[in-house]
Structure 1
Amino acid sequence: MEKLIERIIYASRWLMFPVYIGLSLGFILLTLKFFQQIIFVIPKILMMSESGLVLVVLSLIDISLVGGLLVMVMFSGYENFISKMEIKTDKKKLGWMGTMDVNSIKNKVASSIVAISSVHSLRLFMDAEKISNDQIMWCVLIHLTFVISAFGMACIDKMSKRGYS
């Protein structure tokens, strides 16, 4: 009976597969949004102010950071929880594939969230005259929460690697 339960639990990891497929679809949608913004900006580029262009570029950077986060979570999650990816040697394999454990994924996700939050904050500050002080305050507080959380997680990870756990 115990062996059956263990096999069922082990096989249940495949329930994550649809989640990673969903993330892949999300990545496709994000890519479409990226190109939609580029296509939207091209006809207006000569009439845009410098700050307007910077806001658009920050938006593209934001989409890029979220996309990178999605790729990292999809690949690492699949490899850590479902199955190792068999990439042919003639194909270019990503250098970090197969090397990220759950803690390193967690720290990279936290760092990515801080970077994404930084871009959002910068975009907000670029339009500060149109935004209320309360919104700016909340943005800063939320960003600081992300920074402190990421720092705390990194410290805990470092302590656990040194054997303080």
Structure 2
Amino acid sequence: MIDRSAPPIERSAERGPGPASRTLAGFIFASRWLQAPLYLGLIIAQAVYVVLFFVELWHLVENAIIAGHISETEVMLSVLALIDIVMIANLLIMVIIGGYETFVSKIRVEGHHDEPDWLSHVNANLLKVKLAISIISISSIHLLKTFIEVGRMEDGVVRNADGSVLYSWDGVLWEVVIHLAFIVSALALAWIDRMSHHSPAASAQPITAGRIEAGLRGADTAASAWSGAADPDGFITVRVPVGSPLPEGARTVDER
């Protein structure tokens, strides 16, 4: 049990970290810039996906309009392939911007009319949840493509034009199991993020400044648990550490 009546620990400001400690700390802190080339590499990968998108789009236009020998199912599969590329590109953007903002440096785009809504409150937990949701969306696209292909399954397999096996029933089953595993992982991450926001430390009423008037007239328990002195009106004015919960019946009054 914490004794709140005990005086706070006084720390001397005269003794601080030495030059060697400050140099080492600065070097460790600057090491975060080693991640910057990784995000630049992801930008190059994003450019590759842009080129791949237009290649797939050209194939779709060439087969559907110019050649004119493409079925509705093939068009649907080509469109799903384009959507798949877009979803992966969105995932890359989220990793590049959110990861750089969280782990390297602030991007400082406050007030920009194109600033993403999620960037203002991005953190490691939120980024994990959003990435998990994006992965589930990408997996759903792949699973939908598989379901369209298995419509022509014969003897438990789907074969290409050259006779090679494209899909099998056990392969489809494993795709469904992996997709469900992604969903369970995303739910677990969201639950952990929700629990972190409802923990006692996070839900405790913050006290930044001011004083607390405990309107408990004649409350010996409040006076014994919270250091303070009663004024002539019978109220107790106390000061408590930042982040400590208020006693029952107390309220915060800003000092002027």
TM-score interval, normalised by the smaller of the two chains: over 0.9
Q: How does 1:122-161 map to 2 (within 5 A)?
A: 122-128=144-150, 129=153, 130=158, 131-161=167-197
Query: Which structure has the greater CA radius of gyration?
Result: 2
Mapped contact 1:79–1:98 kept (Cα < 8 A) = no
Equivalent position of 2:31 in the other structure: 12
How far, CA to CA, are the matches of 2:96 and 2:78 in structure 1?
27
Mapped contact 1:76–1:98 kept (Cα < 8 A) = no
Q: Does the alignment pair 1:27 with 2:46?
A: yes
Q: Which has the higher contact order (CA 8 A, sep 6+)?
A: 1
The counterpart of 1:78, out of the listed 100, 124, 127, is: 100
Equivalent position of 2:72 in the other structure: 50
Structure 2, unmatched stretches of 5+, are 1-19, 159-166, 202-256
Q: Cα deviation per residue 1:44-75 (whole Å; 9 max; x = unaligned)?
A: 11322111111111111111111001001101
Equivalent position of 2:133 in the other structure: 111
How far, CA to CA, are the matches of 2:194 and 2:113 in structure 1?
34
What is the number of residues matched between the two proteins? 165
Structure holding more helix per residue:
1
Structure holding more strand per residue:
2
Q: Would you identify which runs of 4 or more consecutive aligned residues in structure 1 move more than 2 Å?
A: 86-99
Residue 106 of structure 1 aligns to a residue whose secondary structure is helix
Residue 53 of structure 2 aligns to a residue whose secondary structure is helix
Structure 1, unmatched stretches of 5+, are none
Letter aligned with residue 109 of structure 1: L
Mapped contact 1:30–1:67 kept (Cα < 8 A) = yes
Structure 2-normalised TM-score? 0.61
How far, CA to CA, are the matches of 2:200 and 2:185 in structure 1?
19
Letter aligned with residue 61 of structure 2: I
Identity of aligned residues (%): 36
